[in-house]
Every structure is written in C-alpha cells, then in structure tokens.
Structure 1
Amino acid sequence: MSIVYRDATPEDAAAIAEFAGRTFCDTFAHLYPPEDLDAFLAAKYGADIQRAEMAEPLTRYFIAIEGDRIAGYVMMGALDIRVDEPGALELHRLYVDKDMKGKGVAQALTDEVIAWARAHNAPALYLSVWENNHRAQAFYKRYGFAHVGEHKFMVGRVADRDFIWRLTL
C-alpha cells in the first residue's frame, strides 16, 4: 500500500465532497431520517462548499491518496465549536475510508494536524466527537486529548450529543 499525503487544492474539492459524504454516510446514515441526512449533506459537502472552506485563511485540508482515490482527509482551522481559548485551533474533520481504518492513515493525518497547530503556536487543539463513537474516542485518548465539555451537533433537525475534547500543545 503506497499512500501519498499532500495538501488539498481547489481541484480536489469535488472528490473531497464525494468522499466526505460517502464516509459520513458509511458511519452515521443509519442514525438519521433521510430528509435530515440529505439536508446535512447538502449543507456541508458540496464541491463549492469545500472550495469556499479551502479559501478561508486559516483552513487547511490535508489528504491521503492511494492510487487514484482519496483514502482519508483532515480539515483543520479556526475554532468553530464554542470554547473560549484565544489562539486555540480545531481539528474539524478526520475521515478515513472504511477499508483503510487500522492502516495508519488516521495517525498520519492526525500527526499532521498536531504539527500544523504547533507551527501556529496554538496553546491547544480542540475537536468534537459523537458520544457513541467509542473507536474515535479511544484513538484521540492515545494522543492525549481529554474530554472537556459537550455541545449539540446538528444533522438536519436532529441534535447529536458530541463531546468536546482538548489537547494541550
């Protein structure tokens, strides 16, 4: 398995949008009524949306490519969740294709996010993780992230309980 890691470009936006929607559905689609899932996907994962996010000054997309396909990606940037810590940054999304889980892709992407946040002299890195995503929580614990709060993550009209986690840098 040969994986290439690189920064995403606007030309990657359509592929990232498709990948993000598919991997979100692989993991979570069974939790939501179709109309709420469709509303969420339309609001978060369109090529134009991804391009607009990439254009934001502090936002960075970093992707893992295997052959001609995306194997995983991470989106990082300014804080979007409600915490009050000047200079802190956020790991917004970490998505890995289901057949790539357990193969080091998530680790490589997370290592890049942490290095990026440290390069920006952030005091901390935050993320949000669904309360019942125990695999992700175990992964983040290995990095030293700690549960510091919670918030509602909206998927259409459905409010999920997400935990807010913090890593001191």
Structure 2
Amino acid sequence: MSGIVYRDANAADAEALAAFARGSWVATFGHLAYPPRDLDVYLTKNYGAEIQRSEIADPEVRYRLALREGEIVGYCMMGVLAMPVDDAGGLELHRLYVDESVKGAGVAAALMEDAIAWARGKGASALYLSVWENNERAQRFYRRFGFKDHGEWDFMVGETADRDLIWRLTL
C-alpha cells in the first residue's frame, strides 16, 4: 500500500503504540465478553505506555511500525519465546495487528515478511506465534507464510483462559 512508512519503534512512540495496541486488541477480541476485571488486568499488564516504553528499550524485543501520515496503522512485536515451547533456537512473533482501514492492503504481509527476515537474521531455527482458535482470518494469513500447527496453550486474559493454537515456521 502506498503512503505507508515502516520503521522500528522508539521511545517517543510509546504512548501512541500503547493506545493503538490496546485499541487493536479490544477491536479484535472485545466481543468475547471477558469479565471486566479480567479484561482490565490483561490490558493494564500489557498495554500501558510505560510497558511499551520498557519493551521498546529492551534489546531482546523489536517493535516494527507501519505508519500512514505519521499515525500508526499497524505493528508487530517480536522477541524471545514466551510460550511453552521447547526450542532454544526459536523466536516468537508476539503480536501483529493492523488497522481495519489497511486490512487486505499488504500492510500485514509487509510486517510479517519483516518479522521473518528479522528472525532469520538472528539465526533462529523457527519463528513461533499463537493464534486464537476461532480467528480464522488470521489463521489463513499465517498459513500463507508457511506456519504450521505445533500445539496449543491457554492464553490468559486475567483469570480467563482462551485456547490458542501455537504455530511454527521453520526457518
């Protein structure tokens, strides 16, 4: 999609990234009607500006942004494995979200291609991700890049467990 600029996040992006990340997550999963306390715990733990600032500064984490006219319209977060996977050489694609206005326009694909190239550049044996069992659009997208089923785990939103599928791309 023309007019999109891609770059790594920096500390100055923390507040905008936190707002976009929180909004994207709620837009994607808010319909699941989590108990309010569970949702609040999850969002507070993962999407505050200070948390994003800390993650941006972490040398083991990489945030890649897609911007249109200076505004975030997509991002992905990559880093060390946090899922229960036994692969000392693997890395994880923790998050990949794009704004509704750019879905289907190649922004998510550009972010995914960058994440795969980043993992290969780090010498990773594989790139892992987790995807909610009922997010079929995301599953179709990940299959296009060669990700395959590797297992499942409980993705915790507060005290609520969602069944997420663990997918692996051999690099």
Provide the C-alpha distance between the structure 2 equivalents of 1:20 and 1:34, rounded to a whole number of angstroms.
Answer: 18
1:66-77 aligned at under 5 Å gives the runs: 66-77=68-79
Q: Which residue of 2 aligns with 1:132?
A: 134
Distance in 2 (CA, whole Å) between partners of 1:68 and 1:166 is 33
Q: Distance in 1 between matches of 2:9 and 2:70?
A: 14
Aligned to 1:167: 169
Q: Give the secondary-structure state (helix, strand or coil) at the position aligned to 1:42.
A: helix
Offset at 1:30? 1.5
Q: Let me know the Cα RMSD of the aligned residues.
A: 0.8
Measure how far apart 1:55 and its partner are: 2.0
Letter of the structure 2 residue corresponding to residue 82 of structure 1? P
Q: Counterpart of 1:85 in 2: which secondary structure?
A: coil
Tell me whether 1:50 sits opposite 2:52 in the alignment. yes
Structure 1: distance between partners of 2:71 and 2:130? 26
- Once residues 61 and 42 of structure 2 are traced to their aligned partners in structure 1, the CA distance between those partners, rounded to angstroms, is 20
C-alpha distance in 2 between matches for 1:57 and 1:69: 24
Deviations 1:13-66 (A, max 9, x none): 110000000011111112112222111111100010011112222210000000
Q: Secondary structure at the match of 1:127?
A: strand
Equivalent residue number for residue 63 of structure 1: 65
How far apart are 1:156 and its partner, in Å?
A: 1.3
Q: Deviations over 1:125-163 (max 9, x none)?
A: 000000000000000001110011000101111100000
User: TM (normalized to structure 2)?
Assistant: 0.96
Q: Point out where structure 1 has 5 or more consecutive residues left out of the alignment.
A: none
Distance in structure 1 (CA, Å) of the matches to 2:48 and 2:96: 17
SS at match of 2:152: strand
Q: Which runs of 5+ in 2 are unaligned?
A: none
Question: How many corresponding residue pairs?
Answer: 169
Which residue is 1:34 aligned to?
36
Cα distance in 2, alignment partners of residues 155 and 65 from structure 1: 28
Q: Measure, in 2, the Cα distance between the counterparts of 1:156 and 1:39.
A: 5
Tell me the equivalent position of 1:2: 3
| Identity of matched residues, % | 60
Residues 80-122 of structure 1 deviation map (CA, whole Å, 9 limit, x = unaligned): 1011111210000001111111010100000000000000110
Instruction: Tell me what 1:106 maps to.
Output: 108
SS in 2 for 1:102: coil
Give the 3-state SS of the residue equivalent to 2:137 in structure 1.
helix
